[in-house]
Amino acid sequence: MAADTRADFFCPHCDAAYKVVRAKAELGKTYWPIRCKACRGPLAATNGNDLLTYYLVRRNYNWAIYHTTQQAPARLVSFVDNQPNELAAIARAIKEYKIPVRERDGLVARRRD
């Protein structure tokens, strides 16, 4: 994914991708943690003497994976978390749940959040 090549930091709570820009922090000033733009989890405002600014590159979502066919109603296969899009979510489900080849054609992913 091209956008990810710019990312150099991943949220420890939700794996959202960020580009971090550093500047000199003011000595003696207290910097409160920043909230992740995707999950609201705390991110460090400083690192050593550097003040950190986070630019969101990619957020992730939680997905429900369904198997669909012409003949039957959609069947829930699995849940996968922290994937950026439908294709990535399906790929993760196939790998994690070892979904057989014959069932892969009918897979769809729907966002849960």
Residues at the contact surface with Zn ion, assessed by CB under 5 A: 11, 13-14, 16, 36, 38-39, 41
For the record, the structure tokens of 92 come out as 């993760």
Q: Minimal distance in Å, beta carbon 101 to Zn ion?
A: 34
> Is 67 or 83 the residue whose CB approaches Zn ion more closely?
83
> Is 38 or 57 the residue whose CB approaches Zn ion more closely?
38
For the record, the structure tokens of 46 come out as 């400083």
> Is 24 or 40 the residue whose CB approaches Zn ion more closely?
40
For the record, the structure tokens of 71 come out as 């003949």
Q: Minimal distance in Å, beta carbon 78 to Zn ion?
A: 22
Running DSSP on this structure, what letter comes out for residue 49?
Answer: T
